[in-house]
Amino acid sequence: MPSVRAILDEALAVCKPGPDDLHVMEDVRRFLDILAYRLKKQGVKARVILGGSFAKDTWLKGDYDVDIFVAFDEKHAQDNLSDLLEKAMKQWKAERVHGSRDYFQIHGDINYEIIPVLDIEKASDAQNVTDFSPKHVAWVNRNAKGLTDDIRLLKKFCKAQKVYGAESYIRGFSGHVVDILIIHYGGFLKLLRAARGWKPKTVLDINKVYKGKALLVLNASKTQGPLIVIDPVQPERNAAAALTQDMFDRFIDAARKFLARPSIQSFHEHEPDLWALKQQGALIVEVATLSEKEDIAGTKMVKLFAKIKDELARHDFTVADAGWTWDREKKGGFWFRTKEKKLSPKVKRVGPPKKIAENAKAFKKKYPNARTLRGRLVALIPREFRTPAEVIASVLRSDYAKDKVVSARLRA
């Protein structure tokens, strides 16, 4: 059996960019230079700053998603920064994405996200939540020396365990939280060992700002999640506020399993094979999502998935396994496997005690065939749905489904 170090080295060899990826950085630098030139040419005072994992040298091989901040001088504080940026980007086919401040996306072999921010020194000068983002990059670069490969390993591990991403349809570990965790614990394995002992409401305060009293001092809305990670740059912020209990639990479980039996499989990203799942008895729903911002389209899709799960449970089906997959073409799928394949034709409805006359009368009016059993009224009524496929098909025909996705159908 290979050692843990050998497994981590193997994982790093797969996820760390090598000589074949050098052209990506060259293309990114060229893009930065052209954008800076175009801004200067139109008389705009702004700095074009590489952000995200490319700026921190923590990006993964083959994962060419590049964040760029355009930091506008404070003399533009009263201008529409998104409009100024749009003028400089006319030569590219950029998509304007609406947000608290509009930003831009360019999709291709390299995917760019270009975010306008105000060039500020203090968090108090920020006009928008994104204005302080470049400071996060600077903090990581100061504190992650010798730990960039550990950040890569954690990012790859989280992706493989399906717990990576702070988007509202995922609500897992963001890239920023991954950075903080590695720096806080001093390495990948040290983090996993510590995570085994995490409990709900674990507080990580790397700069000891709150001296163990963060749960008492912070606004309650910032401490609702299972993990409170005090942002080292903006200490009034919980960097892990998006994290759900489910993602928290899944990460802890994955950490325990890896430490108990280390395997390279823990770093392998597997997209579910819907056809294989169908062959194993799962019900498959093919989905095409709305042509909206990724976060919005994904959130609506996941709401439909949750609605189907809830309806299956409401109609007495036990969901043994369920999940979803989605790609950048806005196509995806759900799968559901229930313990029950077909339910009895009738279902028992237990009513009020017979001695509560008024309630008993109303129950008998609704169910004329009701009988008394151990002092309570009981009725056997026809089931609305006997198979899980019938439940799913009913949800997919609903207005709720039509509002959430472009199309959704059960695979025959």
pLDDT by 10-residue block (mean), the chain, 412 residues: 92 94 93 96 94 96 95 92 94 88 93 94 79 91 96 98 93 96 98 97 95 90 93 93 95 97 95 91 94 86 96 96 84 94 93 92 92 92 95 97 94 80
Instruction: Report the distance separating Cα 271 and Cα 254, nearest Å.
Output: 17
Residue 49 corresponds to which tokens in the numbers above? 């700053």
CA dihedral 341, 346, 352, 358 (to 10 degrees): 140
CA–chain centroid gap for 210, Å, is 28
In the chain, what are the domains?
A: 18-131 (3.30.460.10), 144-267 (1.10.1410.30), 274-342+386-410 (3.30.70.590), 346-382 (no CATH)
Query: Judging by DSSP bridges, how do beta strands 331-338 and 319-326 pair with one another?
Result: antiparallel
Residue 328 confidence (pLDDT): 63
CA–chain centroid gap for 2, Å, is 32
Residue 128 confidence (pLDDT): 82
Residue 329 confidence (pLDDT): 67
